[in-house]
Amino acid sequence: MNERESLQQAKRVVIKIGTRVITDPAGGLDEGFLRGLAEQVARLLERGCEVVIITSGAVHLGRRALQVKRKKESISLRQAAAAVGQPEVMHRYIEAFGAHNIRVAQILLTMEDMRERRRYLHVRNTLEALLSNRVVPVVNENDSVSGEAVTFGENDKLAGVVAASTQADVLIFLSDQAGLFTSDPRTNPGAELISTVQPGEDLSSCAGSAGGPESLGGMAKKIAAAQTAADCGVAVVIADGAEPQVVVRVLDGDAVGTLFVPGQPTQARKQWMATATEPTGAVVVDAGAKAALQQRDGASLLPRGIIDVKGDFEAGDVIRILGPDGSEFARGQTNYAAPEVHRIQGAHSSQIEEILRHVGQPEVVHRDYMVMTTPQGPSE
């Protein structure tokens, strides 16, 4: 069975719909698109699939209702627009899906809900309970309460987090482009559609520009979210939302859009570390330590391999692990706070007690609390 055909076995499906896909040129919600989506979801449910939708459109509809000019928009006005638009988005989903006797449920999330593991597990359990009751959860960011520090920023990332946390088989990004191209197809007529991306492939040369004025994502953000979800074992497809029956075709194994082949599924705790947390600090390791950590069944991170500490963190926080060139290759939960790591960096584990004057773990990050991540360029 090839990689496309294996999508026919997918049971749990997450579909992400961006503002530019769900709105029509006149600026309202595209009723035809929503009807087509509901009809396809009905077919998936008949096949025994479970479906989660991540939708945008709230801010856009709210802006229209309040007649807000984007240029003059403050953060609180954007949040007010989301509050006005969100019930309207749900109203349209209830109508379109109700025509097929499908019940939908609204879930609004902030990054903060996902950062703390206990809250994250509550969200995951709620989604599980909805799915086992044949309800289609319709998820959006809770824009009206997300302060700047706790925002996902765009729904691409949110979709990746939801897909990984629910251990979805496939995440489908419905985009206004046919998939990922070798270069930006809007400016380069020779750009070619990339059909398949293998785990860990370097895509830095194909990341297109950011989307249009209504969209916060853009192709570069989609690629980052897609690679993270694929690292966690979720197959990801980016495809053209305007193409008829596109979701059904993806799940029939047709060669539509770009498929990110999933890596090995990771344990639930590791998925959370890779997707749901925004680490505030990092350690830089030498080339030898990097190679040892990257090996299959590799080592734990010992103080000896650490050459620098960045940012601030407490024991128990998730931190980035950077190679000597400053790019992230792993994340993990640290046993030591930043000032302690600073003091023991370069030392042998047997010296930890003498340096810190208390007995501690021999490793800074234990192997079981570490996850490899796809390189995403130097971290600031």
The burial of 241, by beta-carbon neighbours within 10 Å (0-12 exposed, 13-18 middle, 19 or more buried), is given as buried
Total residues contacting ligand GLU by CB under 6 A comes to 15
- The packing angle between helices 75-98 and 58-66, to 10°, is 110
Min CB(374)–ligand GLU separation in Å? 21
Q: Does 92 bind ligand GLU (CB under 6 A)?
A: no
Q: Which is nearer to ligand GLU, 207 or 347 (CB)?
A: 207
Label residue 167 left, alpha or beta by phi (over 0 means left) and psi (-120 to 50 means alpha).
Answer: left
Min CB(19)–ligand GLU separation in Å? 5
Q: Does 160 bind ligand GLU (CB under 6 A)?
A: no
The burial of 32, by beta-carbon neighbours within 10 Å (0-12 exposed, 13-18 middle, 19 or more buried), is given as exposed
d(CA 160, CA 275): 7
Query: Dihedrals φ, ψ of 350, to 5°?
Result: -70, -15
Min CB(128)–ligand GLU separation in Å? 23
Q: How many residues appear in the chain?
A: 380
Sheet holding 135-141, edge to edge: 103-109, 135-141, 50-55, 12-17, 170-175, 235-240, 258-260, 196-197
Q: Does 140 bind ligand GLU (CB under 6 A)?
A: yes
**C-alpha 181: how far from chain center:** 20
Query: Dihedrals φ, ψ of 235, to 5°?
Result: -70, 135
Min CB(82)–ligand GLU separation in Å? 6
Min CB(321)–ligand GLU separation in Å? 28
Q: Does 57 bind ligand GLU (CB under 6 A)?
A: yes
Q: Which of 4, 12, 60, 222 binds ligand GLU (CB under 6 A)?
A: 60
Stretch that binds ligand GLU, among 123-131, 139-147, 165-173, 329-337 (CB under 6 A): 139-147
Q: Does 30 bind ligand GLU (CB under 6 A)?
A: no
Question: Which ranges of the chain does DSSP label H, i.e. alpha helix?
Answer: 19-22, 31-46, 58-66, 75-98, 111-115, 117-132, 155-165, 218-231, 246-251, 268-275, 287-294, 338-344, 352-356
Give first-to-last CA distance, the chain, whole Å. 42
Q: Which of 185, 217, 279, 303 binds ligand GLU (CB under 6 A)?
A: 217
Minimal CA–CA distance to 14: which of 369, 320, 275? 275
Min CB(79)–ligand GLU separation in Å? 11
Q: Does 144 bind ligand GLU (CB under 6 A)?
A: no
Q: Which of 30, 141, 169, 340 binds ligand GLU (CB under 6 A)?
A: 141
Stretch that binds ligand GLU, among 28-36, 53-61, 278-286, 296-304 (CB under 6 A): 53-61
Q: Which is nearer to ligand GLU, 149 or 359 (CB)?
A: 149
Q: Which of 59, 107, 111, 352 binds ligand GLU (CB under 6 A)?
A: 59
Q: Dihedral sign for Cα 81, 87, 90, 95, please.
A: negative
Q: Which of 13, 44, 58, 289 binds ligand GLU (CB under 6 A)?
A: 58
Q: Which is nearer to ligand GLU, 222 or 331 (CB)?
A: 222
Q: Does 225 bind ligand GLU (CB under 6 A)?
A: no
Min CB(158)–ligand GLU separation in Å? 8
Site of interaction with ligand GLU (CB under 6 A): 18-19, 56-60, 140-141, 143, 154-155, 215-217
